[in-house]
């Protein structure tokens, strides 16, 4: 079994869900993300957050995967100050919803004053509602931004074990681990971290507090990055225990602090029944045959 603790399924297809389940992914976390173009109204955020705790959670269930999310104002969107202030008023309405396991992904992009202001405000919100934090580290000047993210988290009274630092690379991992934070790695094809490099990181630093994720989104990305990286680890002689920790258990441990992320949810998940509706809506279209799973006999009926 695998967990992908950072994947943007709103932008993925039902084929991806089917492939992920077949590859062994049992649970996912979808962090609040930017649209690809600037949002212009707070209602856009409200509908998006509602979809993360509503429709997308239902859609994943229809393919046998348990969906969770994180709620937050993404750093790339924080520079519109007037809009960000409205979003900050909206966040408390969603952070206590079922399936919300962290505040995130938040942090720095261009490392501006506005980003810093709203990052700090969301760290305070995480403390108030007692949720872990998922931090986005910047793609430019990453080392500086990563160090600052940890400094600010500690300044606001969060403990390192409550904070996941994501989008790490070889330049940042040692400091993150030395300071006691969780180090997550985004496995992208042809950019960021690749599976080959990830294997070497695990071999060098071991599995403690290291997390593998895909961050698959609307760009060129791979929703099977976690199982593919796990398989490469096996081929390269990484112990099975290390694979289990980095591709499953570590994510369960850190996000389990929310009280929402529980192994029993997918070990005892309800059977797939694509005749079910969400607010009258189905994942199927006219003429398509629903999948109905009989878990008592392990039979899937089409």
DSSP structure string for 7-59: --GGGS-HHHHHHHHHHTEEEEEEE----SS---SHHHHHHHHHHHHTHHHHH
pLDDT interval class at 287 (50, 70, 90):
confident
> Per the domain annotation, does 284 fall within a domain?
no
Confidence of residue 286 (pLDDT cuts 50, 70, 90): confident
Cα–Cα separations (whole angstroms), residue 143 to 39, 120, 140, 175, 203: 28, 19, 9, 9, 22
pLDDT, mean of residues 243-253: 98
Specify the pLDDT at position 139: 86
CATH for 233 = 3.20.20.140
Which class for 65: exposed (0-12), middle (13-18), buried (19 or more C-beta within 10 A)?
buried
Residue 265 lies in a domain: yes
Given a contact cutoff of 8 angstroms between Cβ atoms, the answer to whether 163 and 182 are in contact is yes
Residue 280 lies in a domain: no
Tokens of 294: 């009989």
Containing structural domain, residue 105: 2-269
Residue 188 pLDDT level (bands cut at 50, 70, 90) = confident
If pLDDT is split at 50, 70 and 90, which confidence band does 302 have?
low
Dihedral sign, Cα of residue 111, residue 116, residue 118, residue 121:
positive
| More confident: 296 or 53 | 53
pLDDT at 191 over 80: no
Q: How confident is the model at residue 234 (pLDDT cuts 50, 70, 90)?
A: very high
Per-residue pLDDT of 71-129, as tens digits, reads 999 999 999 999 999 999 999 999 999 999 999 999 999 999 999 999 999 999 999 99
pTM across the whole model = 0.95
Is 168 inside a domain boundary? yes
| Predicted pLDDT at 117 | 98
Assess if residue 282 is contained within a domain: no
User: For all residues of the chain together, what is the average pLDDT?
Assistant: 95
290 in a structural domain: no
Number of domains in the chain: 1
Q: Is residue 286 part of a domain?
A: no
- pLDDT of the residue at 299: 55
188 within domain boundaries: yes
Interacting residues of 35 by C-beta distance below 8 A, sequence separation 6+: 44, 48
């Amino acid at each position: 079994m695998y967990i992908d603790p950072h994947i943007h399924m709103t932008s993925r297809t039902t084929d991806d869900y089917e492939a992920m389940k077949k590859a062994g992914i049992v649970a996912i976390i979808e962090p609040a993300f930017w649209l690809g173009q600037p949002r212009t109204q707070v209602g856009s955020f409200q509908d998006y957050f509602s979809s993360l705790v509503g429709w997308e959670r239902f859609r994943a269930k229809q393919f046998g995967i348990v969906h969770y999310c994180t709620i937050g104002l993404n750093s790339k969107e924080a520079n519109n100050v007037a809009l960000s202030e409205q979003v900050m008023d909206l966040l408390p309405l969603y952070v206590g919803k079922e399936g919300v396991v962290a505040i995130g992904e938040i942090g720095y992009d261009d490392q501006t004053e506005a980003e810093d202001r709203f990052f700090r405000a969301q760290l305070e919100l995480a403390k108030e509602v007692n949720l872990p934090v998922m931090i986005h580290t910047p793609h430019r000047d990453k080392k500086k931004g990563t160090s600052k993210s940890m400094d600010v988290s500690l300044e606001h009274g969060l403990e390192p074990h409550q904070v996941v630092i994501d989008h790490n690379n070889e330049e940042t991992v040692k400091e993150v681990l030395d300071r006691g934070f969780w180090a997550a790695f985004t496995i992208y094809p042809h950019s960021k971290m690749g599976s080959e490099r990830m294997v070497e990181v695990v071999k060098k630093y071991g599995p403690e507090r290291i997390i593998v994720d895909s961050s698959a989104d609307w760009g060129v990305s791979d929703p099977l990055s976690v199982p593919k990286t796990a398989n490469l680890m096996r081929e390269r002689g990484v112990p099975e225990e290390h694979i289990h920790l980095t591709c499953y258990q570590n994510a369960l441990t850190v996000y389990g602090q929310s009280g929402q992320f529980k192994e029993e949810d997918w070990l005892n998940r309800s059977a797939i029944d694509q005749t079910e509706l969400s607010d009258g809506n189905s994942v199927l279209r006219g003429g398509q045959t629903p999948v109905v799973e009989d878990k008592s006999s392990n039979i899937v009926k089409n």
